[in-house]
Amino acid sequence: MKRKIFVAMSGGVDSSLAAAILLQKGDDVVGITMRVWSGEETDSTDIRPCCSERAARDARDVAAHLSIQHYVVNYLEPFNRLVVDDFIAKYLHGETPNPCIRCNRFVKFGKLLDEAIALGADYLASGHYARIRKDESSGRFLLLKGVDTKKDQSYLLYALSQHQLSRLIFPLGDLRKEETRRAAQELGLCVAHKKDSQEICFIPEGDYRAFLKSHVPEMMTPGPILDVSGRELGQHQGLALYTVGQRKGLRISTGKPLYVVRLDAEQNAIIVGPDSALYASRLEARDVNWVAFDRPPERFRARVKIRYLHKEQDATVEPKADDRASVCFDQPQRAITPGQAAVFYDGDTVLGGCTITNTRE
């Protein structure tokens, strides 16, 4: 019996090949594209944001080439409410969020998955570089890294629920990017050489400071720059202009390099210190999502990643009540940033993940 699979087509090479692979396997494939962004687009670059009008046109052209049905759904309102508003709110609280994680959980594999199922889909597929496997002994669906370690996107998917993982398919999980492009070219897909989008979809130029300045002008209120002892060294131009670990743009002269150590939203202050002040051995986190466990051990060892491009580090994870956790690293880590995700791995398997709230030395 054929599986009916909707494919979240972003107009890029990855999701396009995902649709083609499933079609070759004999599945009943339907393309579906989210519109979540309505900003202006130009022809000056080949790097175009996913989920835009142009991306929808590219997805439509691929669907026509594959002779499959294609739908476009307008998610501007829920995307703004669930992702963009949260992005702004986190910055207002002095955090640095990763909106792709929230979009995956609540929009792409939340609302879109529900819509696909309502339209008769057995599964929703996408072009993510990750893998899903069912552990027969526990009955849980496991999330694993993609084979291509340079493109692995499991970090961005850690927040998915068991229900979501049970209804998702990632056809590219066993492929490397160069294999994807080669296969797309052999199939004559018009997006075979389309460049990957590198920016946040609702900030296509990558200038999140300009975005926040226009949407939350109160974040540009000047305030004090304090050293770690509380001494005022100067004035900053607005919290949104700074991130943990930043050195340039402080406009203070002390005779030695200083870095942003912490953002204090309550005082509208930036705390700076030497490079050594950026290192911490422990972090506290909230909103833990356990993927591999129904109930986690009281304490366990893991490899932990604190940013998308961060190299995993050995640590001990201590689950706590109220979906919280502490992570103690074997070696101090630089620039652990509130708002970013900490994701726990055992080899290729995602054990779980959480949102960083603060650090301890």
Helices (runs of H) and strands (runs of E) counted in the chain: 9, 17
**Active-site residue identified among 50, 201, 328, 354:** 201
Q: Count the alpha carbons within 13 Å of 231 in the hemisphere toward its beta carbon.
A: 6
Q: What are phi and psi of 327, to 5 degrees?
A: -125, 125
CB 149 within 8 A of CB 309: no
Cβ neighbors of 179 (< 8 A, separation 6 or more) are none
Q: C-alpha 254: how far from its chain's center?
A: 37
Decide if 190 is catalytic: no
**Active-site residue identified among 51, 103, 328, 354:** 103
The closest of 245, 269, 241 to 259, measured between CA atoms, is 245
* Single-letter residue type at 171: P
Strand 69-74 with 28-35, pairing: parallel
Cβ neighbors of 225 (< 8 A, separation 6 or more) are 232, 233, 234, 235, 236, 250, 252, 269, 270, 272
Q: How far apart are the first and last CA of the chain?
A: 57
Long-range contacts for 148-152 (Cβ within 8 Å, ≥24 apart)?
148/175, 148/176, 148/177, 150/177, 151/176, 151/177
* Single-letter residue type at 247: R
Decide if 103 is catalytic: yes
Task: Give the helix ranges, DSSP H, for 41-144.
Answer: 53-66, 76-79, 85-92, 99-103, 112-118
CB 269 within 8 A of CB 261: no
The closest of 220, 265, 213 to 244, measured between CA atoms, is 265
Residue 292 is encoded by which pair of tokens?
């591999």
Alpha carbons 183 and 181: distance in angstroms, whole number: 5
Alpha carbons 132 and 111: distance in angstroms, whole number: 20
Q: How many C-beta neighbours within 10 Å does residue 223 have? A: 16
Query: Which residues does the annotation mark as catalytic?
Result: 103, 201
